[in-house]
Amino acid sequence: MEAVVPSEASAADTLLDKLQWRWVLLGGAVAFFGAAVARKKLRQRQKKQRTNQTVHRGIICGDCGDIIRGIRYMCANCADFDLCETCEAKESHYKTHVFLKIRIPIPALAIPPGALLPVLYPGGAIGEISHAEVKELKRKTHFDEVELEALFEQFKALATSKNGIDKDTFERCLGPLGVETNLITDRIFKFFDQDGNGTIDFSELVCGLSVLCKGTPEEKIKYAFKGYDLDGDGYIDKEELYKMFKAYFYLSMEAVREAVKVIEEELILNYNDNNTNPVSSAFVGLPDAETQEDSITKQPEDAPLNNEDLSPIMDSMYQVAIEEMVEKAFSAADVNNDGKITYEEFRAWALQDPTMISWLEALGSVF
């Protein structure tokens, strides 16, 4: 039986058929995606038309002078300043001012007079940075040129003098954690303020952020050791470690307390917004005088202590716990048992137990 050899013409026809089908499929796909793009553009035009029909009557754009249509941008730091969507995109106002994005018109008389918020950025006393300075900082840190330029904009917004960011501004950046003096916050400020002149210049800022955000374990260990070494003698003794552990503990407790406070406020707000309980549930019956007196005078002997009674007890427990932590730390790090920890001992210890550099990262990056 002889094999049938296809002719060149039939092979060409088969190839042509395949190409035609591919062109058909490709054409269908192009038509499908083209229709999808057209529908998307139509929806965008319709949305823009609906938005433009929204008129903020009586509100004038502070840049172009037209009545604002669509989205209104209201400056929260000025007494009376608004921008339309087009002018807001041009960044024609102060960069450090915060804007509220308003989609639905608010009655003009319903807005309280004056600025709604204080200025959040206290700076503005710094000029510009040269390209040579950016290149030098790129060499010294883990940031590229684009990141450094963005960081300089942030630095300008915070620097209150030509020298840079002072201690007061630094504490403001910490929010509630900066209200009370704490050894950890003080050491972190000194970590940034490498020359010790009381202000953080741009070079110090980016070098510090480079370590905190992108630094290697070796870099963090180096600065963590300096933080523990309170007297700067090149060693860490038990008293220094105790002070740092204690400060870190109380700072952590304060952070937890603030977090719980925020959660409580959110719960109360959600309860008020979504309250479905009957009105009578808001009224709790008051005990009569006799019942109240009995409840006070007939307390059992094993009744739980209140917060004021517990406070000294808890403080005493914390002191004991911190002292135990110091003893365990020295038993692990003080290899030659001379009562102090050298940098080499601290480094070997921190590489095995990274929690020993936690104080350096206790406040995140701060800025």
Going along the chain from its start, the domains and CATH numbers come out as: 51-120 (no CATH), 131-215 (1.10.238.10), 227-260+316-366 (1.10.238.10)
CA–CA dist 96, 345 (Å, integer):
46
Higher per-residue confidence, 101 vs 111: 101
From 196, 197, 220, select the one nearest 142 (Cα to Cα): 220
Four-residue CA torsion sign, 334, 335, 341, 343: negative
What pLDDT score was predicted for residue 257?
A: 84
CA–CA dist 323, 346 (Å, integer):
18
* pLDDT per position as a tens digit, 233-249: 999 999 999 999 999 99
Q: Rounded to whole angstroms, what are the CA distances from 63 to 74, 91, 111, 119, 284?
A: 12, 10, 21, 21, 56
89 is written with which tokens? 């995109």
What pLDDT score was predicted for residue 64?
A: 94
CA–CA dist 252, 242 (Å, integer):
15
Q: How many residues does the chain have?
A: 367
CA–CA dist 269, 105 (Å, integer):
25
Q: Is 74 exposed, middle or buried (0-12, 13-18, 19+ CB in 10 A)?
A: buried
DSSP string covering 301-364: TTPPP-HHHHHHHHHHHHHHHHHHHHHHHHHHH-TT-SSSB-HHHHHHHHHH-GGGGGGGGTTT
Mean residue pLDDT of the chain comes to 83
Residue 261 confidence (pLDDT) above 80: yes
pTM check: above 0.85: no
CA–CA dist 5, 260 (Å, integer):
84
CA–CA dist 133, 155 (Å, integer):
15
What pLDDT score was predicted for residue 283?
A: 41
Four-residue CA torsion sign, 321, 238, 192, 176: positive
pLDDT band of 184, cuts 50, 70, 90: very high
From 214, 237, 213, 215, select the one nearest 225 (Cα to Cα): 237
Torsion of CA 236, 240, 241, 243, to 10 degrees: -170
Kindly state the average pLDDT of the residues 268-286. Answer: 56
CA–CA dist 159, 4 (Å, integer):
88
Q: Rounded to whole angstroms, what are the CA distances from 311 to 252, 307, 317?
A: 17, 6, 10
**Sole residue written with tokens 């206290």:** 122
Q: Is 45 exposed, middle or buried (0-12, 13-18, 19+ CB in 10 A)?
A: exposed
Tell me which H or E stretch contains 189: helix 183-192
Kindly state the average pLDDT of the residues 267-275. Answer: 69
The residues near 256 (Cβ < 8 Å, ≥ 6 apart) are none
354 is written with which tokens? 């990274």
DSSP string covering 129-181: --HHHHHHHHHHSS--HHHHHHHHHHHHHH--BTTBEEHHHHHHHTGGGGSS-
Kindly state the average pLDDT of the residues 175-188. Answer: 91
The residues near 102 (Cβ < 8 Å, ≥ 6 apart) are 56, 71, 72, 73, 74
Residue 10 confidence (pLDDT) above 90: no
What pLDDT score was predicted for residue 298?
A: 45
